[in-house]
Chains A and B, each alone.
Chain A
Amino acid sequence: MSVPTLLTRVPSDVARGGGTLRLYGPGDIDHLDPAACHASTGELVRLFSRQFVTYEPQQDLRNWQAGAPVPDLAVEVPSTYNMGLGASQRSYVLHLRPEVLWDTTPVRPVTAHDFVRGFKRMGNPVMRSPVLTYFTSTIRGMSDFCAGFDAAVPRTNATAEHVAAYQNAHEIPGVFALDDETLVIEVVRPTLDFVHMLALPCASAAPAEYDAYVPGSLELRLNLRSNGPYRVAYYVPGKELTLEQNPAWRRESDPVRRLYVAHIEITVEKASPGEIDAKIDAGEADLGWGSPSARRRLDPQTPVSYALDPYLVFNVARGSRALSDVRVRRAIAAVIDKAALADVCRRTADVDVRVAGSIIPPNNDAHDDLICADVPDPERARALLAEAGYADGLTLIAGYRERDTEPDVARSYAADLEQVGIAVRLVRLDDDAAEWDVMARSWSADWTNLNGRVFLQSLFETGGSANDGGYSSPVVDELIRRALEAAVEQPEKANAAWRDVERRVLDEVVVVPLLFRAPAVPRRRSDRVRNAFPVPAYGYAYDIATLWLDATEEE
């Protein structure tokens, strides 16, 4: 599957098939199990694992419908007016599109029972979706189902038999198939953003074949089944992934995706944003992977959803004991020079960032422009540390991954902490088992409309898979529950409820919001990539399923 590196382009405004789309960079290609995938891998997973609803690429991000779900595997986006949502607003009826097939031998239709299995797999304790709490707090009985899963199946050394046995012997009361073509999902309260949840890659169908593999395992990734336009053809974990066209996919059963590019090839390498750009500019790659940069500055009037990127997480559950003292966390928050950090990011990655004072970034529901970041105050930090009994300093392990700006960010805040006597040992995180006390992470919106929950519930609810520091507070959990209840109120009230959550976690310094980062849109791409438009819910990545490549003279 070699591709010439020097291509003579024949521009084509007419859609054409063929060619290999080449992606290059340090991004993730290993979270391919739909049940556990999130963020960047979502844009890949949707190529072989379709959802009930999804999003279309957008030519104009100012379009009010830019973030609205459209039907995918479901015949319609469920609503009261198409009999897809009961009058109580708590019962969704999803009618599956006919002729959507798995690439099994022989091919067979995707059924509502596959979705039941998919929702159960989402709750597996071995490798869970980072956004599982969206579902456990919403679907009737899913929380208990997952608790039972936890009790029945060990998190480590679980076998496929363990997982399948629990899944096949237990039901989520609020998720049931009426027949092969119809699924009912009952929610515990009217949930205005539920259709967005249905668009998440983790809300995918799962074929019975998946019962033979441990969720997220290499074996599973090597045996993925597809109901989308592409399927995995070649995979070396952490290094290379090639997708090829899925012969079982039918254009007439997919209202959103197309099938132009013959192959999609992702090469994973440690590379700085500048190195990725150089590859693209030289025609050696078509798109970046894992460290996107923009082709040009976006019109500031375009309402794009910023990410919280980065924020500093404290490992309060398993890290240094010092971090359980809010005064220590406040000291750390007080000494970090966010403006300097912003300069570092701009310098190393040419990204559009602004200093963050709050958790919810601009252009997301409940963002508060009035919350401003404090300026660094080392004196106050020292006083707080002394008050907490750490006048002589302490040592923390700062974890980072070799990706994007993470190493530079870690070095920057480590230097700030050392000013006040906090020694920082930088540790590269190669696996989940590595120990760390603090870590800079990022979080972007899973959807862009009605998205009050996406930052606060994921990061701060007890047991949340994206709650990396293991923070747990009954008060915050209750505030989150109230905010979910208030979501049906008018926007001011709903947003106020989320701001109550935000205020509380800011006061507790559960994390330190560092920067807000504008999405890279439109993303840098090679000249031969045509019809490339971003999908807001996928971090404004181009929709790979609808773009095509110019022909080369050789072709």
Chain B
Amino acid sequence: MVASRVVTETVSVYLPDRPSPLEERRGSLRSASWDSIQELFALEPGAIHLNTGTVGVMPHAVIDVHDQVTREWSGGLMDIYRPTIFTDYRAAIGRAHGVDEDEIVISHNATEGIARVINGLDLHSGDEVIATSHECYSVLSNFNLVRNRFGISLKVLTPPSGYHVTAEEIVELFEQAITPRTKVLAFSAITLWTGTMMPVRELCELAQRHGLVTVVDGALLPGMLHCNLRSLGADFIACSGSKYQCGPLGTGILYVRNKVFPEHNPLPLPTLWPIISTWYPMVGSTPPRSTTSIASYNIGDHLQIAGSASIARGAALAKASEMWDEIGRDRIERRIMDLGDYARERILERFGEDAVYSPCADARLRSPLIAFNPFRRPADAWNVKKVMALTERLAAEHKIWIRWTEFDVPHSPHQHYAARVCTHIFNDHAQIDRAIAVLAGVAEEI
């Protein structure tokens, strides 16, 4: 096989002469059927993958790029530092999300992004942070670190869950918790435990009214929603590249607000100390932060440039992002949400409203992640063994991949456990029908 060289501004990428399925469909992906798009993904035949909330499935083309770039850069004498700025990739990914290259960092994962933000915030003893108990460990762990290090206080709220939850309830919960000492609101865009699509814009507006910094765990956002990150109004959004965006493991996207667009967030840019950086000046400091829609410096570079890095992961993530653009992010979002709604309906039919932890009645809070108690007895919701057995049996006996989650429920003394299914474009209605039917049967046996 003779390799042809595809040159990008950032990095040379060798691709096989043989056109990939993606290449064959280039130009037609926008109108390709979902059946044919399913074929793009490196899924195990016969498997039903309903766990994108944990990790997505890479398209073959993404794997190819990762492989080829790794080979190209192995054992060479090329400058390995400059390409890891990922300028073009960041620009392309930024465009896909309505922001600029200086506001985007390709990180190693959402955890790294969130850790760099939380530890880089200019917090001091006595400052208060509000977060929820439904955050990823990475959020709570890093805020606890900052609490111990700087003496801040951390107020952890337990958000409501269940069929009838409304966006107003959630916003009200946060609003009641804000005090004069509050400096930061931290929350997920979509919670990984209950799949609640948090009212991000409303929470950011609440934060803006109180002059607060917003830190959003957006791990599940890219690849799921066709959204303009800037318009959400947050200061920081840390995302995964390997979940809904289906990039390689070890990729993330970090959005850092670097200019002021009053229509989105009129507050001054918050101070961020770019920890883990080889670009922060060795003498002196960075320029004052911008107060306008023109950046005063490229904070993305300061965060991006941090020694040697895997060039392949940036290229592969960019390839995944490019594919999403070609298929159409608006189209992808509709498909994912349609499948999510379909799964939700099937789950409600099988298990009933009371079993569901994910919001249903308020359409604004629905996501393609649905968490529910799959067992008849309500008390089995705090039986981790049963839900573990369920997920293990589904995987081992039926090649159906879901996940169990754990979380607090307001006014309940128990830790609740739920089965969680997530839909993506590599799923279809038949898979969902089969998965829910099998799941119900296995749950019944357990």
| Cβ-closest chain A residue relative to B404 | A83
Chain B residues with CB under 8 Å of A173's CB are 413
Q: How many Å from the CB of B357 to the closest CB on chain A?
A: 14
Give A186-208 as 1s and 0s: 1 = Cβ < 8 Å from B's Cβ atoms: 10000000000000000000000
Chain A residues with CB under 8 Å of B382's CB are 91, 184
Give B348-392 as 1s and 0s: 1 = Cβ < 8 Å from A's Cβ atoms: 000000000000000000000000000000000011111010000
Q: Does B201 contact A (CB under 8 A)?
A: no
Give B134-156 as 1s and 0s: 1 = Cβ < 8 Å from A's Cβ atoms: 00010010000001100100000
Known contacts A93-B384, A173-B413; A87/B137 CB under 8 A: yes
Q: Does B202 contact A (CB under 8 A)?
A: no
Q: Does B54 contact A (CB under 8 A)?
A: no
Checking B385, B388, B415 against A86 with a beta-carbon cut-off of 8 angstroms, the contacting residue is B415
Name the interface residues of A51-93: CB closer than 8 Å to any CB of B: 80, 83, 86-88, 90-91, 93
Name the interface residues of B378-437: CB closer than 8 Å to any CB of A: 382-386, 388, 406-408, 413-415
Q: Does B70 contact A (CB under 8 A)?
A: no
Q: Does A490 contact B (CB under 8 A)?
A: yes
Q: Contact at A86–B406, with CB atoms within 8 Å?
A: yes
Chain A residues with CB under 8 Å of B414's CB are 91, 186
Q: Does A376 contact B (CB under 8 A)?
A: no
Chain A residues with CB under 8 Å of B406's CB are 86-87
Q: Contact at A87–B385, with CB atoms within 8 Å?
A: no
Tell me the complex Cα distance, A174–B384, Å: 15
Q: Does A253 contact B (CB under 8 A)?
A: no
Q: Contact at B384–A178, with CB atoms within 8 Å?
A: yes
Q: Contact at B137–A179, with CB atoms within 8 Å?
A: no
Tell me the complex Cα distance, A540–B23, Å: 71
Q: How many Å from the CB of A392 to the closest CB on chain B?
A: 55
Q: Contact at B415–A90, with CB atoms within 8 Å?
A: yes
Known contacts A80-B137, A87-B407, A173-B413; A178/B148 CB under 8 A: no
Q: Does A472 contact B (CB under 8 A)?
A: no
Tell me the complex Cα distance, A186–B415, Å: 8
Q: Contact at A178–B137, with CB atoms within 8 Å?
A: no
Chain B residues with CB under 8 Å of A174's CB are 413
| Interface residues of B, count at CB 8 A | 18
Chain B residues with CB under 8 Å of A91's CB are 382, 414-415
Known contacts A140-B413, A174-B413; A83/B137 CB under 8 A: no
Chain A residues with CB under 8 Å of B384's CB are 83, 93, 178, 182, 184
Q: How many Å from the CB of B167 to the closest CB on chain A?
A: 24
| Cβ-closest chain A residue relative to B136 | A87
| Cβ-closest chain B residue relative to A95 | B385
Tell me the complex Cα distance, A83–B382, Å: 13
Checking A88, A179, A489, A490 against B133 with a beta-carbon cut-off of 8 angstroms, the contacting residue is A88
Q: Contact at B413–A182, with CB atoms within 8 Å?
A: no
Q: Contact at B385–A178, with CB atoms within 8 Å?
A: yes
Tell me the complex Cα distance, A297–B27, Å: 83
| Cβ-closest chain A residue relative to B384 | A93
Give A331-359 as 1s and 0s: 1 = Cβ < 8 Å from B's Cβ atoms: 00000000000000000000000000000
Chain B residues with CB under 8 Å of A490's CB are 147-148, 151
Tell me the complex Cα distance, A83–B388, Å: 10
Chain B residues with CB under 8 Å of A184's CB are 382, 384
Checking B148, B386, B415 against A88 with a beta-carbon cut-off of 8 angstroms, the contacting residue is B415
Chain B residues with CB under 8 Å of A186's CB are 413-415
| Cβ-closest chain A residue relative to B144 | A488
Give B239-268 as 1s and 0s: 1 = Cβ < 8 Å from A's Cβ atoms: 000000000000000000000000000000
Tell me the complex Cα distance, A179–B384, Å: 11
| Cβ-closest chain B residue relative to A488 | B144
Tell me the complex Cα distance, A140–B148, Å: 27
| Cβ-closest chain A residue relative to B193 | A87
Chain A residues with CB under 8 Å of B388's CB are 83
Tell me the complex Cα distance, A184–B382, Å: 9
Give A311-328 as 1s and 0s: 1 = Cβ < 8 Å from B's Cβ atoms: 000000000000000000
Q: Contact at B413–A88, with CB atoms within 8 Å?
A: no
Name the interface residues of B65-88: CB closer than 8 Å to any CB of A: none
Chain B residues with CB under 8 Å of A179's CB are 385
Tell me the complex Cα distance, A119–B413, Å: 19
Q: Contact at B137–A182, with CB atoms within 8 Å?
A: no
Name the interface residues of A28-61: CB closer than 8 Å to any CB of B: none
Tell me the complex Cα distance, A86–B385, Å: 13
The CB with the most chain A CB atoms within 10 A, among B137, B406, B414, is that of B414
Tell me the complex Cα distance, A173–B413, Å: 9
Tell me the complex Cα distance, A289–B413, Å: 45
Chain A residues with CB under 8 Å of B415's CB are 86-88, 90-91, 186
Q: Contact at B385–A182, with CB atoms within 8 Å?
A: yes
Q: How many Å from the CB of A40 to the closest CB on chain B?
A: 37
Known contacts A186-B413, A490-B148; A87/B383 CB under 8 A: no
Q: How many Å from the CB of A545 to the closest CB on chain B?
A: 31
| Cβ-closest chain A residue relative to B386 | A178
Tell me the complex Cα distance, A80–B415, Å: 12
| Cβ-closest chain B residue relative to A182 | B385
Q: Contact at A88–B137, with CB atoms within 8 Å?
A: no
Q: How many Å from the CB of B119 to the closest CB on chain A?
A: 16
| Cβ-closest chain A residue relative to B158 | A88
Q: How many Å from the CB of B21 to the closest CB on chain A?
A: 39
Chain B residues with CB under 8 Å of A83's CB are 384, 388
Q: Contact at A178–B383, with CB atoms within 8 Å?
A: yes
Give B312-338 as 1s and 0s: 1 = Cβ < 8 Å from A's Cβ atoms: 000000000000000000000000000
Name the interface residues of A140-162: CB closer than 8 Å to any CB of B: 140
The CB with the most chain B CB atoms within 10 A, among A88, A174, A182, A489, is that of A88
Q: How many Å from the CB of B403 to the closest CB on chain A?
A: 12
Chain A residues with CB under 8 Å of B133's CB are 87-88
Given A173-B413, A178-B386, A186-B415, list of 19 further CB < 8 A pairs? A80-B137, A83-B384, A86-B406, A86-B415, A87-B133, A87-B137, A87-B407, A88-B408, A90-B415, A93-B384, A140-B413, A178-B383, A178-B384, A182-B384, A184-B382, A184-B384, A186-B414, A489-B148, A490-B148
> 6 A-B residue contacts at CB 8 Å?
A88-B133, A140-B413, A178-B383, A182-B384, A186-B414, A490-B148
Closest A-B pairs by Cβ, 8 of them: A86-B415, A91-B415, A490-B148, A88-B408, A178-B383, A178-B385, A182-B385, A86-B406
